Amino acid sequence: MSEGSRSGFVGLAGRPNVGKSTLVNAIVGAKVAISSVRPQTTRRAIRGVATDLEAGTQLVLVDLPGVQRPRDELTSRMQKTVESELAGADVALLVINGEEGVGPGDRFIAETLLGARAKAGGLPIICAVNKADRLGRNIVPVLVAAAELAGVDEVFPVSALTGQGVPELASYLASIVPEGPYLYPPEDHSDQPRELLLAELIRGQALIRTRDEIPHSVEVRVTGIEQREDGLWLVDAEIWVESDSQKRILIGKKGFKVGEIGTGARKDIEGELGGKVHLDLQVKVKRKWRRDEDMLDRLGID
């Protein structure tokens, strides 16, 4: 780390399903947050760490749950997480779905960020218009509308999926975080405990493969991680749902669905652990777990 290094927290805010998780992964260069076409995929504040040793900068990207109206204990905790993480951020990054344009939800979130700026004393607010690669010339009015949002200082067109505009956004963010030493070891790309990261990879596969059949009643808990002498990783995990009918859907005929989930998750986990993995998945019914405060505490959902 050279003298004059910069590091800081960047809180990503936006409506559900605008691509915040994909953008975090693109900036970090590793899969630290699960992404899905399903809204409200992110439940916790997940930190991705992007360090540029040559530039002497480190961004700690906080992928926040999508801003929404709380409707149960789970979503209430998610919204409290958004508020608390923004209070400790050095930069706020508002992410907008360029294909949908700027809507009332985006304006509401911009006002929320403006309130956070008032409390934090000068919080920069940057806007990333995502999915810019799909817009062509139609992006111009979206960029103009984004620039007119309350409190927005700069606007960047990006594509989290293709990487278009991502280096320019990351470079700018790194230029405005405070001067100071790195907050995490340069080799780290996330601050998540290993069990939580693997659980999120499994949950991501469950969301992808069940689509609209299973609502946000799916949670995953990793109960064991062990590496044998021959290098094989043994990972035990439970997938939780709230009803017997959801359990049947998740397992599928003759176990086909849970087998698909396991195959996809195993590949992701092998990439994370750097070796072959044997994954044992069990599907269990935990009724009303989203309303159980003790259960949410055990899952680490603040």
The answer to whether position 283 is within a domain reads yes
| Average confidence (pLDDT) over 214-238 | 89
Residue 84 lies in domain: 6-176
Q: For 133-150, how does the pLDDT look when each residue is reduced to its tens digit (9 = 90+)?
A: 999 889 999 999 999 999
* Same-domain check for residues 248 and 128: no
pLDDT for 3 equals 62
Task: Fill in the amino acid letter for 297.
Answer: D
Number of separate domains in the chain: 2
Percent of the chain exceeding pLDDT 70 equals: 80
Per-residue pLDDT averaged across 147-173, rounded? 96
CATH of residue 236's domain is 3.30.300.20
30 in Cβ contact with 201 (< 8 Å): no
Point out the domain boundary residue: 176, 207, 238. Answer: 176
One domain, residues 206 and 122 = no
The pLDDT of residue 145 is 97
My answer on whether 210 and 242 are in the same domain is yes
Q: Given this model, what pLDDT does residue 41 score?
A: 44
Residues 273, 132, single domain; the answer is: no
Looking at the fold, whether 151 and 271 belong to one and the same domain comes out as no
Q: Is residue 229 part of a domain?
A: yes
Q: Is residue 189, in this structure, part of any structural domain at all?
A: no
Pairing of strands 219-227, 46-52: unpaired
Give residue-wise pLDDT tens across range 60-73. 998 776 554 555 55
Confidence of residue 16 (pLDDT cuts 50, 70, 90): confident
DSSP letters of 129-168? EE-GGGTGGGHHHHHHHHHTSTT--EEEE--TTT-TTHHH
Instruction: Give CA–CA dist 27/20, Å, rounded.
Output: 11
CB–CB of 202/237 below 8 Å? yes
- Same domain flag for 17 and 134: yes
**CA separation (Å) from 167 to 89, 125, 172, 222?**
21, 18, 9, 34
The confidence score (pLDDT) of residue 46 equals 67
Please give the structure tokens belonging to residue 33. Answer: 């947050």
Bigger pLDDT: 160 vs 190: 160
- Reply yes or no on whether the pLDDT at 286 is more than 50: yes
- Which residues make beta-bridge pairs with 151? none
Residue 125 shares a structural domain with residue 241? no
Judge if 129 and 210 occupy the same domain.
no
pLDDT tens sequence across 72-108 = 555 555 556 666 667 788 999 999 999 999 999 899 8
Same domain, yes or no, for 152 and 243? no
Q: Do 131 and 15 share a structural domain?
A: yes
pLDDT value at residue 245: 87
Cα–Cα distance for residue pair 17/117, rounded to 1 Å: 24
The first and second tokens of residue 144, run together, are 């103009």
Q: Can you tell me whether residue 152 is helix, strand or coil?
A: coil
Helix and strand element counts for the chain (H, E): 9, 9
- Specify the pLDDT at position 75: 53
Q: What is the pLDDT of residue 45?
A: 58
Average pLDDT over residues 207-219: 72
123 and 224 part of one domain: no
Q: Flag whether 182 is in a domain.
A: no
- Do 160 and 271 belong together in one domain? no
Q: How far is 266 from 217, CA to CA, in rounded Å?
A: 22
Backbone phi, psi, residue 178, to 5°: -65, 155
